Amino acid sequence: MKKIDLGATSAAGHMAVHVAPAYSRFQRISNLENAMSLASTLWDTAGWLWSDRHPGVDRSKHRSVAETFDKDLFSRCPDLGLIRDLAEVTKHGGELSRKTVTVTGLSGSGSPGGTLFVSTPFGGMTEAKPECTLQIEHDGKSRNMTDALATAYKFLLAEAG
């Protein structure tokens, strides 16, 4: 196993350097691009957690240990399983062959960001912020994308310490 210096040396470092800024961007502008970017960096954090807890151990050569590790994460944060599907499907051209894939698609739309100001007939003005309505479709159910990302972020932040 070859270690490559990317600046971050732990899951906590990865969270600070990559995940926290992606989460901040998604909170500011909750569009599809920022949602998928955040999903990818969140799922990358699981790899960093593995490296922290199993230094120098190649996941591909210890599949049963890796599967147990992943199942434990998913049992404590089911949204992380959805995040993994989203992150991997963007990496693999929209197709996944893993038997545990549950995500079937996305629905709704992301927010363009910003604030809308609308004049009323009597000279007043109302203010509205466009909201993200993205939903993760899985197993015949829907999960709010914003909530899933926030839950996974908080979980991984605690795990990374």
What is the per-residue pLDDT for 6? Answer: 80
Task: Return the C-alpha torsion angle 140, 141, 145, 146, nearest 10.
Answer: 180
Radius of gyration of the chain (CA): 18
**Model pTM score:** 0.88
What is the per-residue pLDDT for 130? Answer: 83
What is the per-residue pLDDT for 92? Answer: 83
What is the per-residue pLDDT for 108? Answer: 95
Mean pLDDT by 10 residues, the chain (161 residues): 83 97 96 97 97 94 96 98 95 87 94 82 84 94 98 98 91
What is the per-residue pLDDT for 60? Answer: 93
